[in-house]
Amino acid sequence: MKKLLPVLVAVASVTFFAGTVLAQDVVRLGCSISLTGKLTYEGKATRDGYEFYKALINKKGGLNIGGRKYKVDIKYYDDETNVQTSTKLIEKLITEDKIDFILGPYGSGPSFATSAITEKYKKVTVLPMAASPEVFERGFKYMFGMIATTDVYLKDIFYLAAQQNPKPKTVAVLWKNDLANKGLADPVPRFCKDNGFDLIYNEKFSAGASDFSAELTVIKSKNPDIFAFLSQLEQFIMAVKQIKDMKINGKIIMNGIAVPQPDLVKSLGKDAEYMVGPTHWYRTFKYKDSLFGDSPNFVREFKQMFNYEPEYHSVGATAGIQALGIALEKAGVLDVEKVRNALATMNVNTFWGPIQFDEKGKIKGRTMPVGQILNGQFTLVYPPELAEAKLVWPKPAW
């Protein structure tokens, strides 16, 4: 009979053994995320990160919670890249599906909105892709972020630019009017002042824009040394095509979100070359843990499962659900308050790096290494201890 047990358990969640009902214990997590709409790529990459952890932890027998093994299950809803839909679905997960532990969506806007719902119901939520500082300035106690906030994304790029010869003098920034990119643009005046730059253009564009020619015409006339176009991937691809057509030749062209994403090179080919941006994680990072091993092992196993190499969306999502799993094991019970306290007091080393949260729920100590597209690959150029190559300066003219 023992030989048949695994087969029976695989077929059904309940089986009978020696007159006793054995039910497989399950931790049920919930997530509303963009599987269709404008942020489909980012949403699916985030979901894949969750699924990677789920597959690996379940393969190892599940989470050890109070001496019992619990498999991990995740219920997803597609928010269709609509914030209002996302909040409704999070409330459905909590009130109808009775989910206590929530996995965050992709993006600061949806994270800002949905975390208000989870806070209202006092449900633990991890937000692996919430980068806006505004998300963490509301005194919430049940949310925990996994990535550096946008106020530091571009800091080291401006510092690195200031070390170049000849030193740049002027900066233009054009940014998408959404929560994440506003967070990227807000500190730019301070970065300029700190590094001795003159900010000669600083304007926003509507979230749904696809033509930037009017703004780019003005920027071209000002001929900035540094040009920051701040948006997610889809609009940055559109912008680069127009920037090339108009031959805007900044010494550096940067973006705060899109540069590490493989689809940038897939879409633009050689036109992506020399673009600069920050990253939350890279395959050469030296962190490791007992679950995932080191970064090369993470990349290898993830690629084997999903047939593409992960970047920070997937990896950050994995780190977020891993942190929740560690908290569940530490709490020893499926109790929201005890799991929340385990997260609030967490101090562990993982493949993502150290995970520890401040009183606002922000992860402590995260920095943003700088990369540049070189020979078709996102390549780290700063800081020196992580750099694989030197920054190409100035960017060759179109």
CA distance 11 to 29: 22
CA distance 185 to 172: 11
Phi and psi of 14, rounded to 5°?
-130, 135
Secondary structure letter of residue 334 according to DSSP: -
Q: Which domains does the chain have, with CATH numbers?
A: 20-149+284-356 (3.40.50.2300), 152-280+369-382 (3.40.50.2300)
> What type of residue sits at position 398?
W
Q: Show the tokens assigned to 390.
A: 């030197």
CA distance 136 to 153: 16
| pLDDT tens-digit map of 179-194 | 889 999 999 999 999 9
Block means of pLDDT (10 residues each) for the chain, 398 residues, are 34 33 76 94 95 97 96 97 96 97 94 97 97 94 96 96 97 95 96 98 96 98 98 96 97 96 95 97 88 93 95 94 98 98 97 96 94 97 94 97
Phi and psi of 259, rounded to 5°?
-60, -40
